[in-house]
Amino acid sequence: MYYEFEDEMGNISTLTLRDKEVLDPNPQLKTGDVAPNFHLRKEDGNFKTSLYEDALSIDSTSVTDMVLHKPLVLSFYCHCWGSYAPKHLEMLAETAQKVEAFGGQLLVLTNESPQEIERIVRRNKTDFPFYHDTNYQVARSYGVYSDTHPIWERVAGISEDVFTPALFVISKSRRITYSFIDENFDSRPQIKDVLKAVYHWKD
**What are the extents of the domains in the chain?**
24-199
Q: CA 127, CA 130: separation in Å to the nearest integer?
A: 9
Q: Which residue has the higher pLDDT, 161 or 193?
A: 193
Q: Which residue has the higher pLDDT, 172 or 58?
A: 172
Q: CA 104, CA 70: separation in Å to the nearest integer?
A: 5
Range in 16-25, 34-43, 90-99, 192-201 the model is least confident about: 16-25
CATH of domain 24-199: 3.40.30.10
What is the 3-state secondary structure of the chain? CEEEEECCCCCEEEEECCCCCCCCCCCCCCCCCECCCCEEEEECCEEEEECCCCCCCCCCEEHHHHCCCCCEEEEEECHHHCCHHHHHHHHHHHHHHHHHHCCCEEEEEECCCHHHHHHHHHHHCCCCCEEECHHHHHHHHCCCCCCCCCHHHCCCCCCCCCCCCEEEEECCCCEEEEEEECCCCCCCCCHHHHHHHHHCCCC
pLDDT of residue 10: 57
Cα torsion at 85, 88, 89, 94 (round to 10°)? 160
What are the residues facing 166 on neighbouring strands?
A: 76, 181
- Give the model confidence (pLDDT) of 21-55 as tens digits: 444 556 889 999 999 999 998 776 677 888 877 64
Of 47-51, 55-59, 162-166, where does the model show the most confidence?
Answer: 162-166
- Give the model confidence (pLDDT) of 128-162 as tens digits: 889 999 899 999 999 999 888 888 888 877 878 88
pLDDT of residue 127: 82
What are the residues facing 175 on neighbouring strands?
A: 34
Q: Which residue has the higher pLDDT, 120 or 106?
A: 106
The dihedrals phi and psi of 83, each to the nearest 5 degrees, come to -70, -20
Q: Name the band, by pLDDT with cuts 50, 70 and 90, for residue 174.
A: very high
Q: Which residue has the higher pLDDT, 202 or 73?
A: 73
- Is pTM beyond 0.75? Reply is yes
Instruction: Give the β-pairing of 39-43 and 61-62.
Output: antiparallel
